Copies of this chain bind each other. A is one copy, B any other.
Amino acid sequence: MSTIKPTENIESNPRVKAVFDDIRKTRNSDFVNNMWYYIAFDEDLLERTWQEVKLVMATPSQIDPLTKEMIYLAVSIANSCAYCVHSHTAAAKAKGLTDAQHGEIIKIVSLAAKTNHIANGLQIPIDDVFDAEMS
């Protein structure tokens, strides 16, 4: 179920086709996942979301591609986004995530959630030494 009905033959729209072509080229794959089909009803949303994903996730930078996917997945778990957990687990596996690392991510994410709830639950005051403005 969805709250949007994807347009049929969506790639007959040249703005949509241009983005889909770039997704296929960037990922070196013919597969385009549902995310892009469903947001294509708003061309501006499609173009700018892809532009940002490409820039942040698919451009060489100071953090390697697999680590980026792990961070993305961690946020998606914490924000309870079922779609994103599925798509970014798949993306991480495509970038080499092993089963052992998968298990580790789950351990880190769930431990972080645990201590997040401990710290919020006791309202632990922040140590002065953690204030970057004082350094």
Chain A residues in the interface with B (C-beta under 8 A): 1-6, 31, 33-35, 38-39, 41-42, 44-45, 48-49, 52-53, 55-57, 61-63, 67-68, 70-90, 98-127, 129-133, 135
9 A-B contact pairs sorted by A residue (CB < 8 Å): A3-B85, A4-B123, A39-B118, A56-B104, A62-B98, A62-B100, A74-B75, A81-B115, A86-B131
Closest 3 CB pairs of A and B: A42-B103, A78-B78, A75-B112
- Closest chain B CB from A4 CB (angstroms): 5
Q: How many copies of this chain? A: 6
What is the bound-complex CA distance between A83 and B64, given in angstroms? 27
Q: Is there contact, CB below 8 Å, between A130 and B62?
A: no
